[in-house]
């Protein structure tokens, strides 16, 4: 039996890329030869991929082949995916609603976002007719599918090992809060800047590390963020670190005293769990899949108006200050909970779960 993981663009350093690599490793370890099929390979080249067109010439294709489409929106040729012989599955990674982008792009680009979103809904309805099972990465994403009357789903978290690193932070003069990921409107980086303003009023040496990348289509958004930091008088407290390599990330994680997420749309949230693995307190806006991903190991808040952000800054400062006391608020219990959640993800029997999903049809027919 062979398996093929389909994706329009294979990037090995983003969330979907991590999931593809994890799925590939688990399936190969289970004795299922697995290849990545894409239209554009934007990875480092360490994993050999097939072009979509090349797959039509594969001699190993048969009705026993498995095809898994990583779906986070339109882009991959659905008809081509459905035309390959074999069983079909959809790995659903959620679709960001275009409403988040409207203030930061032209009307023409926003209309294209809207059209892509509508096309994605239509594609999901089409895939529903030919797909054995959808594999959403969270219960939240599964509920989104249910809204489209897609109920043949099994939740499978992002397939990745995190490892428990524990506390190894390089403490400096003052506290450092961090964020890792794309700097796009749905992540609400501007709310992190407002929080930084209130933190600076409490302690001038607070530092904010914003680590990630900015898609070129959101250059105006990034420009607005930098201007906002200057206008709030926090330019010296906020560091934008773009294009950081994977090998550099551990150094930045170890500098953080806390992790902050203001995102308003998450289908899962790998950086949330990665922060837990470094024993870092996580403060996160409680929406979409965030509470589910953190499993009670983070500090959640549900309001982000200016008054609430001021109180959040005081809360964060109180917790970080207490760490140096005899009985810290964020003490052994909080640390053990972070470790427990991290180990839960690491010990998840992905191979067994996938085998159960892929053999269900055969078992039911026997």
Residues 323-355 have pLDDT tens digits of: 766 566 677 788 999 999 999 999 999 999 998
Cα gap 92→46, rounded to integer Å? 25
CA distances from 109 to 94, 182, 184, 213, 299 (A): 21, 19, 15, 20, 36
CA distances from 303 to 112, 128, 287, 308, 310 (A): 31, 36, 10, 6, 11
pLDDT number for residue 191: 98
Give 173-207 pLDDT, tens digit per residue. 789 999 999 999 999 999 999 999 999 999 999 99
Question: Which strand (E) or helix (H) includes residue 335?
Answer: helix 332-346
pLDDT number for residue 168: 61
Cα gap 65→57, rounded to integer Å? 14
Other C-beta atoms lying within 10 Å of the C-beta of residue 192: 23
Residue 330 in tokens:
């964020």
pLDDT number for residue 365: 41
Residue 342 in tokens:
């991290």
45: left (phi over 0), alpha (psi -120 to 50) or beta: left
Helix (H, G, I), strand (E, B) or coil at 7: strand
pLDDT number for residue 106: 94
List, for the chain, all residue ranges whose pLDDT scores fall below the cut of 70. Answer: 168-172, 324-329, 360-366
Residue 194 burial (10 A CB sphere; 0-12, 13-18, 19+): buried
Question: Which strand (E) or helix (H) includes residue 19?
Answer: helix 15-29
Other C-beta atoms lying within 10 Å of the C-beta of residue 148: 12
Answer for the pair 170, 250: CB distance below 8 angstroms, yes or no.
Answer: no
> Mean pLDDT of all residues in the chain?
92
Other C-beta atoms lying within 10 Å of the C-beta of residue 207: 22
pLDDT number for residue 289: 97
């Amino acid at each position: 039996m062979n398996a093929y993981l389909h994706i329009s663009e294979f990037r090995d350093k983003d969330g979907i890329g991590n999931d593809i690599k994890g799925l590939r490793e688990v399936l190969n370890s289970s004795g299922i030869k697995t290849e990545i099929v894409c239209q554009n390979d934007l990875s480092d080249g360490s994993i050999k991929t097939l072009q979509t067109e090349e797959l039509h010439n594969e001699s190993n294709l048969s009705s026993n082949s498995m095809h898994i489409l990583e779906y986070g929106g339109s882009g991959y040729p659905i008809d081509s995916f459905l035309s390959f012989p074999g069983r079909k599955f959809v790995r659903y990674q959620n679709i960001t609603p275009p409403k988040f982008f409207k203030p930061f792009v032209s009307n023409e680009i926003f209309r294209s976002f809207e059209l892509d979103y509508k096309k994605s809904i239509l594609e999901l309805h089409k895939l529903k007719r030919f797909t054995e099972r959808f594999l959403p990465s969270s219960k939240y994403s599964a509920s989104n599918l249910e809204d489209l009357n897609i109920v043949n789903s099994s939740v499978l978290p992002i397939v990745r090992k995190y490892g428990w690193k524990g506390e190894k932070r390089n403490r400096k003069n003052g506290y450092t809060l961090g964020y890792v990921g794309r700097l796009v409107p749905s992540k609400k980086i501007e709310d992190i800047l407002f929080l930084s303003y209130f933190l600076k009023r409490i302690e001038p040496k607070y530092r904010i590390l914003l680590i990630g990348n900015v898609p070129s289509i959101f250059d105006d958004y990034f420009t607005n963020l930098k201007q906002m930091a200057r206008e709030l008088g926090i330019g010296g407290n906020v560091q934008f670190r773009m294009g950081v390599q994977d090998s550099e990330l551990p150094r930045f994680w170890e500098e953080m005293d806390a992790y902050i997420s203001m995102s308003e749309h998450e289908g899962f949230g790998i950086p949330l769990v990665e922060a837990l693995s470094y024993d870092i307190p996580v403060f996160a806006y409680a929406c979409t899949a965030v509470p589910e991903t953190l499993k009670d190991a983070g500090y959640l808040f549900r309001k982000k108006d200016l008054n609430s952000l001021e109180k959040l800054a005081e809360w964060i400062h109180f917790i970080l200050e207490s760490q140096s006391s005899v009985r810290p608020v964020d003490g052994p219990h909080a640390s053990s909970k972070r470790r427990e959640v991290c180990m839960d993800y690491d010990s998840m029997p992905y191979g067994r779960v996938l085998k159960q999903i892929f053999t269900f049809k055969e078992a039911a027919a026997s």
